A and B are shown apart, each in its own frame.
Chain A
Amino acid sequence: MTRVLMFGWEFPPFISGGLGTACYGLTTSMKKLGAEVHFVLPTFGKHEMTVSEIPLINASEVEIPNRVIINEEVIQRNRRLYEIFSQVTHLDTILKPYMTETIYQEELLKRRQEEVNETSSTHSFHVNSKTKFSFNGSYGASLRDEVYRLGYVGFSLGLGNDFDVIHAHDWMTYPAGIAAKQASGKKLIVHVHATEFDRSGEHVNQTVYDIERMGMHMADHIIAVSHRTKKIVTDHYGIHPDKVSVVHNGAIENEEIENQMKRPFKEKMVLFLGRITSQKGPSYFVEAANKVLKKKRNVRFIMAGDGDLMSKMVRRVAELKIGHRFHFTGFLRGDALTNIFKISDLFIMPSVSEPFGIVPVEAMRHEVPVIVSKQSGVAEILPDALKVDFWDVELLTKQILEILNNPAKTKRMIQKNNELVKELNWDKPAERVLEVYERVLS
Chain B
Amino acid sequence: MISICLYLQIHHPIQLRNDYDFFKIGADHQYEDILKTEKMVKNLAEKCYVPLFNQLKEMISFHNDKFKISLSVSGIALENLKSFAPEVLDLINDLLKTDCLEIVGETYYHSLAFKYSEKEFVDQIKLHRNSMKEVFGVKTTTFRNTEMIFDNKLAPLIESLGFKTILTQGTRRILGWRSPGFMYQPKTSTKTNMLLNYAPLTEHIQYYFSARNWREFPITADKFTNWIHSLSGNGETVGLFLDAETFGVNHSHDSGIFQFLTALPNMILSRKDFCFQLPEEISMSHQPMARLDVPHTISWGDKERDLSLWSGNHMQNSTIEFLYSLEDIMRKNKNKDLLPIWRKLTSSDVFFQLHTKWDSENLSNRHFNHQSHFASPEKAFIVINNMINDLEQLSL
Contacts and interface: CB of A to CB of B under 8 A. Distances in A.
B22 A302 contact: yes
Interface in A287-341: 302, 310-311, 314-315, 317-319, 321-324, 327-330, 336, 339
Nearest to B325: A324
Contacts of B376: 311
A274 B277 CA distance: 63
Contact of A329 (B22, B26, B313, B389): B22
Given A318-B318, A324-B385, A311 B23 contact: no
Interface string B369-381: 0000000101001
A322 B381 CA distance: 12
Contacts of A208: none
Contacts of A329: 21-23
A261 B22 contact: no
Interface in B343-396: 376, 378, 381-382, 385-386, 388-389, 392-393, 396
A140 interface: no
B89 interface: no
Contact of A315 (B21, B27, B321, B378): B378
Contact of B381 (A262, A264, A314, A321): A314
Given A261-B27, A315-B314, A315-B315, A327 B388 contact: no
Contacts of A323: 315, 318-319, 322, 381, 385
B23 A261 contact: yes
B318 A321 contact: yes
A135 B378 CA distance: 32
Given A318-B318, A324-B385, A310 B378 contact: yes
A147 to B, nearest CB: 29
A318 B382 CA distance: 10
B318 A328 contact: no
A317 B392 CA distance: 19
B25 interface: yes
Given A310-B378, A314-B381, A318-B381, A327 B389 contact: yes
Interface residues of B, number: 26
Contact of A265 (B23, B26, B314, B318): B26
B25 A264 contact: yes
B314 A264 contact: no
A311 B386 contact: no
Interface in B202-251: none
A327 B393 CA distance: 14
A339 B315 contact: no
Nearest to B326: A324
A324 B22 contact: no
Interface residues of A, number: 23
A266 B389 CA distance: 13
Nearest to A316: B314
The prevalent SS among residues of A at the interface is: mixed
B26 A264 contact: yes
Interface in B1-52: 21-23, 25-27
Contacts of A322: 318
A384 to B, nearest CB: 31
A336 B23 contact: yes
Contact of A328 (B317, B382, B392): B382
Interface string B191-210: 00000000000000000000
Given A261-B27, A264-B27, A311-B378, A319 B21 contact: no
A321 B318 CA distance: 5
Contacts of A266: 396
Contacts of A314: 315, 378, 381-382
B32 to A, nearest CB: 20
Nearest to A321: B318
B319 A339 contact: no
A315 B315 CA distance: 6
Contacts of B314: 315, 318-319, 321
Interface in A84-131: none
Nearest to B376: A311
B354 to A, nearest CB: 9
A327 B313 CA distance: 19
Interface in B299-344: 313-315, 317-319, 321-322, 325
Nearest to B381: A314
Nearest to A317: B318
A146 B313 CA distance: 42
A143 to B, nearest CB: 23
Given A310-B378, A324-B325, 9 more contacts: A261-B23, A266-B396, A311-B378, A314-B382, A315-B314, A322-B318, A323-B385, A327-B22, A327-B385
Interface of B: 21-23, 25-27, 313-315, 317-319, 321-322, 325, 376, 378, 381-382, 385-386, 388-389, 392-393, 396
21 contacts: A264-B23, A264-B27, A265-B25, A265-B26, A266-B396, A302-B22, A310-B378, A311-B378, A314-B315, A314-B381, A314-B382, A317-B318, A318-B315, A318-B381, A321-B314, A322-B318, A323-B315, A324-B322, A324-B325, A327-B25, A329-B22
Q: Which 6 A-B pairs have the closest CB atoms?
A: A264-B26, A314-B378, A318-B314, A318-B315, A319-B314, A329-B22
